[in-house]
């Protein structure tokens, strides 16, 4: 199906009147998420370097040969149990798509086979998954939705692929498209609470890795890891050298999705809230940095991957789940 000549953007986001604060939006989204029954098919996908990643399919791909495939990418230390990932899988299935969550390496609760992990610019595994889907299920229409870190990975992937990108459309939600300023932002004020939560998860993942790999390639100890105070420190000590970067600054510069925007040739929707407590305003591209097929859906409120709406307190409605599958249907033939 050809992309529609006039792309209809989702309607503006209106926060729940009882959840206008950015921190309430961010936190409530997790705790008020409806507990839906979502059965998925788990697959361990072998990678070319001997490692593997976990996929969770909403249905067995072989049994639904006519459905477009939407790849979902989670955020930093997310997984199938993350409310936004599970909610989006459910919503995409309800829209008539076959959805698959791609776990980044080591994010399924088990240390991955290699010492390396994953990072905000790590597009190789996504590229391999896309190629495998094309190989196994030729002719399937493809799209993708990325949240936070996964959104940055998706934007960078689309830019790297350029005119070769096979996705019919892509959506990046609350993506840290400028990594260095965002690392500074999350180390300020009330946002430090989120930093400590994420840093704790990153440390736990790295501890599992040290236990598994007795020949770990970096001269670091559990004591050093435990002493880290910021995500930037973690990236400087571990993320950067593990993945071939000189330091955190080099990693941030080479991995920020904003630098790849102008090369994006497929329809790409950026969904962002001005009051995002995780991200610096620097993540927002300027008008001259946005090519014609990239659209920015910017709201005043919404927090970080929050976007909770609805009129009844404690009965949340999720704007992203309501609107993003319908947006993708314009490109994937599900009207």
For residue 181, the tally of other CB atoms under 10 A from its CB is 17
Rounded to whole angstroms, the Cα distance separating 43 from 108 reads 11
Catalytically active residues, by annotation: 148, 276, 304
Give the tokens for residue 21: 């604060």
Contact 89, 99 (CB under 8 A): yes
- Is residue 37 classed exposed, middle or buried when 0-12, 13-18 and 19+ CB atoms within 10 A define those classes? exposed
Give the tokens for residue 105: 């390496």
Terminal-residue alpha carbon distance, the chain: 12
Whose tokens are 């986001």? That residue is: 13
Whose tokens are 């709201």? That residue is: 299
- Find, among 74, 127, 135, 136, the residue nearest to 100 by Cα: 74
Contact 32, 84 (CB under 8 A): no
Any idea how long the chain is?
A: 335
Give the tokens for residue 333: 């033939």
Contact 28, 306 (CB under 8 A): yes
Rounded to whole angstroms, the Cα distance separating 290 from 269 reads 11
- Is residue 192 classed exposed, middle or buried when 0-12, 13-18 and 19+ CB atoms within 10 A define those classes? middle
- Find, among 11, 10, 15, the residue nearest to 303 by Cα: 15
Rounded to whole angstroms, the Cα distance separating 163 from 158 reads 9
Contact 303, 15 (CB under 8 A): no
């Amino acid at each position: 199906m050809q992309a529609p000549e006039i792309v209809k953007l989702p309607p503006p986001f209106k926060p729940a009147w009882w959840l206008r604060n950015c921190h309430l939006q961010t936190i409530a989204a997790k705790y008020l998420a409806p507990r839906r029954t979502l059965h998925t098919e788990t697959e361990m996908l072998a990678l070319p370097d001997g490692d593997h990643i976990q996929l969770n399919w909403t249905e067995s791909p072989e049994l639904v040969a006519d459905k477009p495939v939407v790849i979902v990418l989670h955020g930093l230390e997310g997984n199938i149990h993350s409310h936004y990932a599970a909610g989006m899988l459910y919503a995409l299935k309800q829209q008539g798509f076959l959805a698959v969550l791609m776990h980044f390496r080591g994010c399924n609760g088990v240390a991955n086979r290699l010492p390396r992990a994953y990072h905000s610019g790590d597009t190789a595994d996504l590229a391999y998954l896309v190629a495998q889907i094309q190989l196994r299920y030729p002719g399937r229409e493809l799209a993708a939705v990325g949240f936070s870190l996964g959104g940055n990975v998706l934007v960078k992937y689309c830019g790297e692929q350029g005119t070769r990108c096979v996705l019919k459309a892509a959506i990046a939600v609350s993506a840290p498209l400028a990594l260095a300023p965002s690392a500074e932002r999350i180390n300020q004020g009330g946002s430090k609470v989120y930093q400590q939560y994420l840093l704790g998860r990153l440390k736990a993942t790295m501890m599992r890795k040290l236990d598994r790999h007795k020949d770990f390639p970096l001269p670091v100890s559990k004591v050093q890891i435990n002493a880290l105070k910021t995500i930037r420190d973690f990236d400087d000590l571990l993320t950067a050298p593990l993945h071939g970067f000189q330091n955190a600054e080099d990693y941030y510069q080479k991995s920020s999705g904003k630098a790849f925007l102008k090369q994006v040739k497929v329809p790409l929707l950026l969904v962002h809230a001005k009051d995002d407590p995780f991200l610096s305003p620097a993540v927002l591209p300027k008008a001259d940095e946005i090519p014609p097929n990239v659209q920015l859906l910017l709201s005043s409120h919404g927090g970080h991957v929050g976007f909770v709406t609805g009129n009844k307190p404690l009965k949340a409605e999720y704007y992203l789940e309501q609107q993003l599958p319908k947006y993708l249907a314009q490109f994937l033939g599900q009207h």
